[in-house]
């Protein structure tokens, strides 16, 4: 019966997946719907626990569970990165060949890495495949086919792991995951796959020449596996029966190759060569039996070879008389390798796999989308900023010229110009001066809240790093975990980014305060009713006769052009903000085709295509403004010359200019303060997410620190302190003292003796036995009048009555016989 070697599975334990992964999703994918991922997280955690429970089943259904979990780990690799500084889940796996109890000893490795989980799962998939292959019915064609498929698949997985394990783990692996171990396992599995194919060929009674080639290749593959398994670093790793089995099979299959080749010789009537090969086959089978010992299971094949050898010798001696050549002169047997390591699937292992987190985009795509949004926002803010800066410049020029209010004040009336009334109404409708005061007073509180959160983030990182440094200095190389500064760099960079943002915001707030102070009086006047505004304006004096002035008419026409430019800019600004893109499909396509995303080239090309025409509109609007402002200034010079004869209106015109500038500044300050308030309010949840992320990281590091400290304490406590110092000479025993082995043996005090009393040293001399000695207690004298109990063989005491309970008619059988007493010690 065929026997095969199956690889044991690595063992792991349940871990907390839901909480750290949910925290990462909430902090990273802020727009994700909790209903979409809460169920997926629960299903993922259940799938891992099911994987642990089902791994012991040597069945295809258990293998399907492992396939699904591995596929899910691969699927979330780019969406939910499990690492020390991302989603911190500590996966602990035990060496597959470790004989110790679970999670004890040195052959345990725990790493917070999704890549580590992935390679351990691949190992277990291959191991379970070998176990399923081992339990197949190898007397049937279907069983042999299934075994060949799984052995080849396992060989391919072990070979793949050999190439990638060090890059995925990035530290010393457990012995079973060492590249040399994986290489040996891959070679062993492909040899066993070739064996199943040989047995299939033999069962199908294929031509002897073909069977000889297949089984000879099988022997060569076992020889390769034997060399790899017998490396000095690996010999102690394998189960004790593995190497004898492999060595046995290598010789046995070589013998079978010679046997089938002898059958070819018999058909070709080369009887001498037939005998030579049968003799060699017999010797090889004897060597196989010797090497395998109790594992040798080729008795039938050995008997077949011996019978064929006897028959061939007999026929040759009596009939053919063919010369038997030396086996070294024979032609080598051909080889036919049919079994080969199977490559890993290009997609998923499981045909029924469905990604639980399909609604989450991969992190590279998510990062690319964020980078694209940053580029897009830069363009939007840049182009809108250019428009607003140009409008501000235009308003300031018009305000310095007191336009268009000066055109409305040419009648000589003391009434407030309509444009001023319109501006005052806008100011009052938007809250007036009180609204600005409230916004300005709220900013410090919002800033302080964000600053406190950021300071707490930095303090947590500093405290954790300081604790790690202290323990590293104390325990030196025994403090083996990753240094904090390597893990916290992304979080510290993020903190510095937010600190720079806050510092910039503080400077901008200071500028807003200065602008508000400069225009406070004008804004206060605009916030009052029209009657108070009219009282606040100086008298116009006599300035009639300018209504029909050509300069006035030209300026009025130009003010209409100014209004047109402002309306156009509002439309352009809306168009810039409303441009939409579908970048997800483009980034997914790039990732699928190239394996990575060249975000810059894709984003820049798409942004230029969409924003190019809008940029041209912005440039055209700014050029038209420059030309218009030049004409306005020239025409206003003529208007001022016409008003020069009326000196009384100069003071009034200056106040109107201040009101116009105050209105523009009110609108600018209101927009800036509202944006600042929104900025601080939007920044708070981002800082809270960062704070939660850092808190989770520090908690995980503290848990890891406690576990490592516990391990170190156990190791330190169990470590011997060294040999005892040599005793001084005066503590040596006297020269005439007997050697220790000749000292009389003593029994320690406090241990129960054979008689139930506390014994005393055997070296003590015993006093003579008293006459009234009690057999049960040698130190107690009998009570006065007490009768002695009979010893074995004695008769009952005279007059002794049997013990009888009330209502008892007959004594119990044997009640008159006392139990035998224990044998007296020799010293008594």
Q: What is the pLDDT of residue 755?
A: 39
Q: What is the mean pLDDT of residues 601-607?
A: 88
Contact predicate 672/3, CB 8 Å: no
The answer to whether the CB of 405 falls within 8 A of the CB of 420 is yes
- Taking phi over 0 as left and psi of -120 to 50 as alpha, with beta for the rest, 412 belongs to left
- Cβ of 490: how many Cβ atoms within 10 Å? 11
Q: What is the per-residue pLDDT for 588? A: 80
Per-residue pLDDT, 361: 83
DSSP state of 91: E
Q: Which of 711, 588, 535 is nearest to 92 (CA)?
A: 711
pLDDT at residue 198 above 90? yes
Confidence of residue 678 (pLDDT cuts 50, 70, 90): confident
Of 581, 81, 689, residue with least CA distance to 360: 81
Left if phi > 0, otherwise alpha if psi is -120 to 50, otherwise beta: which for 35?
alpha
**DSSP state, 759?**
P
Higher pLDDT residue, 235 or 793? 235
Most confident option among 149-153, 357-361, 458-462, 601-605? 149-153
148 contacts 193 by C-beta, under 8 angstroms: yes
Q: Could you identify the residue written with the tokens 């001023």?
A: 420
Q: What is the band of 440 on the pLDDT scale with cuts at 50, 70, 90? A: confident
Q: What is the mean pLDDT of residues 716-727?
A: 69
Helices 489-518, 432-475: axis angle to 10 degrees equals 160
Residue 424 has pLDDT above 80, yes or no: yes
Report the pLDDT value the prediction gives residue 584, as an integer from 0 to 100.
82
Residues shown for the chain: 828
Q: Between the CA of residue 30 and those of 25, 26, 569, 805, what are the distances in Å?
A: 7, 5, 33, 86
Under DSSP, the state recorded for 482 is P
Contact by Cβ (8 Å): 338, 199 = no
Q: What is the DSSP letter of 107?
A: -
Distance CA 619, CA 657 (A): 29
| Higher per-residue confidence, 706 vs 206 | 206
Query: Across residues 590-612, what is the average pLDDT?
Result: 85
Percentage above 70 pLDDT, the chain:
83
Task: Tell me how far apart the alpha carbons of residues 47 and 41 are, in angstroms, rounded to a whole number.
Answer: 10
pLDDT value, residue 311? 92
Average pLDDT over residues 795-815: 48
Q: What span, in angstroms and rounded, lies between the C-alpha atoms of 253 and 241? A: 18
Strand ranges inside 154-199, DSSP E: none
Side-chain-side CA neighbours of 191 within 13 Å: the count stands at: 30
Peptide bond into 404 cis (omega under 30): yes
Best CA proximity match to 756, nearest among 819, 702, 821, 672: 821
Q: Per residue in 697-710, pLDDT tens?
A: 888 888 878 878 88
Compute the distance between CA of residue 214 and CA of residue 198 in angstroms, rounded to an integer: 6
Q: What is the pLDDT of residue 759?
A: 45
User: Is the model's pLDDT at 56 over the cut of 50?
Assistant: yes
Span 6-26, average pLDDT: 91
More confident residue, 451 or 820: 451
Contact 79, 361 (CB under 8 A): yes
3-state SS string over 56-85?
CCCCHHHHHHHHHHHHHHHHCCCCCCECCC
pLDDT beyond 60 at 694: yes
Question: Shortest CA distance to 251 belongs to which of 212, 273, 222?
Answer: 222
Query: DSSP secondary-structure letter at 319?
Result: I
CA distance 234 to 182: 11
Mean pLDDT of 396-412: 74
The rounded percent of the chain whose pLDDT value lies above 90 is 34
pLDDT tens readout for residues 89-142:
999 999 999 865 444 445 888 898 999 999 999 999 999 999 999 999 998 999
Mention every residue, 6+ apart, whose C-beta is less than 8 A from residue 362: 78, 79, 591
Give pTM, 2 decimals: 0.64
Question: What is the structure's pLDDT at 733?
Answer: 62
The average pLDDT across 52-73 equals: 91
Q: Give the pair of three-digit tokens for residue 491.
A: 């979080």
Peptide bond into 339 cis (omega under 30): no
Backbone φ and ψ of 759, nearest 5°: -80, 170
Q: What is the pLDDT of residues 485-530, one digit of tens each?
A: 888 888 888 899 888 888 888 888 888 888 888 888 888 888 888 7
Banded pLDDT at 477 (limits 50, 70, 90): confident
- Rounded Cα–Cα distance for residues 552 and 642 (Å): 10
Residue 10's pLDDT is 94
Mean pLDDT of all residues in 160-173: 90
Strands of the sheet containing 91-94, edge to edge, are 11-12, 91-94, 108-111
Per residue in 340-392, pLDDT (tens digit) is 999 999 889 998 889 998 888 888 888 888 888 888 999 998 999 999 899 98
- Nearest residue to 85 via CA among 364, 464, 401, 592: 464
Contact (CB, 8 A) for 128 and 62: yes
In the chain the first and final C-alpha atoms are separated, in Å, by 66
pLDDT of residue 736: 60
Pairwise CA distance, residues 87 & 77, whole Å = 11
Band of the pLDDT at 720, cuts 50, 70, 90? low
pLDDT in tens, 532-558: 877 777 766 555 556 667 777 888 888
Q: What is the pLDDT of residue 779?
A: 44
């Amino acid at each position: 019966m065929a026997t095969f070697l199956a690889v044991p599975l690595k063992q792991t334990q349940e871990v907390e997946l839901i909480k750290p992964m949910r925290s990462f999703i909430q902090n990273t994918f802020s727009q994700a719907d909790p209903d979409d991922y809460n169920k997926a997280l629960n299903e993922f955690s259940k799938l891992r626990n099911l994987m642990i429970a089902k791994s012991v089943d040597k069945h295809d259904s258990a293998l399907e569970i492992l396939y699904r979990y591995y596929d899910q780990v691969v699927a979330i690799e780019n969406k939910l990165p499990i690492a020390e500084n991302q989603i911190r889940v500590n996966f602990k796996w035990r060496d597959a060949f470790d004989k110790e109890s679970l999670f004890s000893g040195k052959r345990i490795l725990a790493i917070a890495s999704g890549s580590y989980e992935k390679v351990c799962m691949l190992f277990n998939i291959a191991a379970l495949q070998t176990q399923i292959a081992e339990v197949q019915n190898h007397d049937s064609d279907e069983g042999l086919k299934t075994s060949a498929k799984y052995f080849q698949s396992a060989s391919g997985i072990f070979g793949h792991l050999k190439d990638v394990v060090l890059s995925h783990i990035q530290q010393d692996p457990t012995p079973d995951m060492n590249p040399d171990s994986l290489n040996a396992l891959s070679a062993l599995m492909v040899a066993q796959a070739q064996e199943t194919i040989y047995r299939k060929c033999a069962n199908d009674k294929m031509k002897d020449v073909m069977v000889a080639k297949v089984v000879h290749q099988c022997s060569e593959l076992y020889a390769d596996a034997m060399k790899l398994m017998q490396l000095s670093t690996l010999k102690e790793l394998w189960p004790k029966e593995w190497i004898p089995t492999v060595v046995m099979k290598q010789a046995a299959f070589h013998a079978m190759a010679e046997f089938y080749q002898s059958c070819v010789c018999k058909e070709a009537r080369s009887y001498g060569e037939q005998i030579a090969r049968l003799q060699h086959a017999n010797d090889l089978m004897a060597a196989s039996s010797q090497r395998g010992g109790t594992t040798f299971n080729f008795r039938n094949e050995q008997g077949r070879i011996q019978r064929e050898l006897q028959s061939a010798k007999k026929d040759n001696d009596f009939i053919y008389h063919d010369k038997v050549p030396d086996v070294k002169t024979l032609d080598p047997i051909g080889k036919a390798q049919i079994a080969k390591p199977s490559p890993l699937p290009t997609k998923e292992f499981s045909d029924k796999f469905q990604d639980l987190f399909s609604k989450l985009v991969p992190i590279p795509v998510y990062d690319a989308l964020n980078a694209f949004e940053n580029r897009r926002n830069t363009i939007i803010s840049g182009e809108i900023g250019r428009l607003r800066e140009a409008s501000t410049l235009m308003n300031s020029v018009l305000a310095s010229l007191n336009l268009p209010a000066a055109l409305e004040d040419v009648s000589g009336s003391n009434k407030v110009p309509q444009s001023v009334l319109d501006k005052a109404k806008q100011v009052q409708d938007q809250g007036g001066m009180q609204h600005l005061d409230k916004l300005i007073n709220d900013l410090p509180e919002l800033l302080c809240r964000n600053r406190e959160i950021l300071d707490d983030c930095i303090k947590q990182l500093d405290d954790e790093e300081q604790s790690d440094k202290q323990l590293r200095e104390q325990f030196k190389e025994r403090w083996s975990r990753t240094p904090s500064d390597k893990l916290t760099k992304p979080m510290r960079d993020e903190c510095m980014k937010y600190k720079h943002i806050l510092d910039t915001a503080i400077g901008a707030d200071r500028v807003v305060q200065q602008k508000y102070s400069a225009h406070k009086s004008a804004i206060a006047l605009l916030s009052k009713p029209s009657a108070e505004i009219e009282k606040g304006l100086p008298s116009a004096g006599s300035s009639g006769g300018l209504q029909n002035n050509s300069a006035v008419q030209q300026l009025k026409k130009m003010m209409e052009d100014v209004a047109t430019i402002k309306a156009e800019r509002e439309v352009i600004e809306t168009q810039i903000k409303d441009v939409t893109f579908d970048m997800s499909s483009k980034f997914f396509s790039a990732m699928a085709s190239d394996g990575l995303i060249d975000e810059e080239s894709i984003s820049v090309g798409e942004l230029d295509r969409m924003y190019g025409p809008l940029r041209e509109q912005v440039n055209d609007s700014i050029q038209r403004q420059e030309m218009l402002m030049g004409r306005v200034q020239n025409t206003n010079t003529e208007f001022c010359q016409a008003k020069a004869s009326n000196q009384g209106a100069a003071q009034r015109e200056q106040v109107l200019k201040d009101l116009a500038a105050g209105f523009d500044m009110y609108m600018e300050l209101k927009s800036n303060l509202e944006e600042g308030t929104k900025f601080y309010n939007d920044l708070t949840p981002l800082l809270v997410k960062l704070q939660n992320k850092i808190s989770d990281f520090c908690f995980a590091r503290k848990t890891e620190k406690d576990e490592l400290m516990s391990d170190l304490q156990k190791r330190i406590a169990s470590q011997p302190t060294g040999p005892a110092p040599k005793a001084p000479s005066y503590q040596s025993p006297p020269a005439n003292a007997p050697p220790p082995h000749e000292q009389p043996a003593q029994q320690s005090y406090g241990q129960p003796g054979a008689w139930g009393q506390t014994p005393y040293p055997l070296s003590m001399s015993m006093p003579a036995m008293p006459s009234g000695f009690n057999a049960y207690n040698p130190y107690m004298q009998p009570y006065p009048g007490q009768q002695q109990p009979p010893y074995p063989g004695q008769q009952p005491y005279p007059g002794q009555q049997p013990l009888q309970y009330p209502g008892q008619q007959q004594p119990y059988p044997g009640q008159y016989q006392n139990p035998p007493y224990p044998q007296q010690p020799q010293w008594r």
